[in-house]
Amino acid sequence: MLDFDQVQTALQNLGASVDAAESHGTLCALLLDNAAFATWLGHTLEELPDAGNVLAAEQLGLLEQLFELTREQFNNEDLGLELLLPDESDDFGQRLLGLSGWCQGFLYGIGVSGFANDDRLDQDGRECLSDMLEISKLAHDEESSDEAEMQFAEITEHVRMSALLLHETLNPLKPSPTVHST
């Protein structure tokens, strides 16, 4: 996965209206609808930079890497999706804010994709969205402790697995063809 700070810097340099965590949450939700890179950028940047802007092209290249990597992680059978969140060395409050923002971005992406009312969402899928809504409201002034760190890791894993469950619900993996030898 790309480094959170790299993506954050790229977004800031491109005048994004959201941070890296929220943007990645939106990306993950938009990928449930197989959205294109340009669609995600449209929901992330206030305006697209000029085509001749070499510095912006470099930043866009980094975002395109994130897009492709995230899409690959969703489509892999190994459940290897990684949430783009502040690093463990960052302040605990910042990490909580990042997870909350990731969920807000995901819910935004669900809303603009029209999945909130999708008939394919079963009870488990709706519960995942409800959980993300609650997680998006996390208090950011929580003090770090061993117990809080453990709960944070559990909640982060729940969010990650929820995103994967929603992806599988809306985009079921097609079984590989069986090869019969004679």
Q: In the chain, what are the domain boundaries?
A: 4-170
Residue 47 is classified by DSSP as: S
Q: Which residues neighbour 77 within 8 Å (Cβ) at sequence distance 6 or greater?
A: 173
> The whole model's pTM is what?
0.89
| pLDDT, tens only, 68-99 | 999 999 888 888 899 999 998 899 999 999 99
How far is it, in rounded angstroms, from Cα 86 to Cα 99? 8
What pLDDT sits at residue 96? 94
Q: What are residue 45's phi and psi, to 5 degrees?
A: -105, 145
Residue 115 is classified by DSSP as: G
**Could you identify the residue written with the tokens 């996390």?**
138
Among candidates 163, 159, 181, 160, which has minimal Cα distance to 171? Answer: 163
How far is it, in rounded angstroms, from Cα 46 to Cα 172? 33
CATH top-level class for 4-170?
mainly alpha
| pLDDT, tens only, 39-72 | 999 999 988 887 777 788 899 999 999 999 999 9
Contact 160, 122 (CB under 8 A): no
How far is it, in rounded angstroms, from Cα 120 to Cα 107? 17
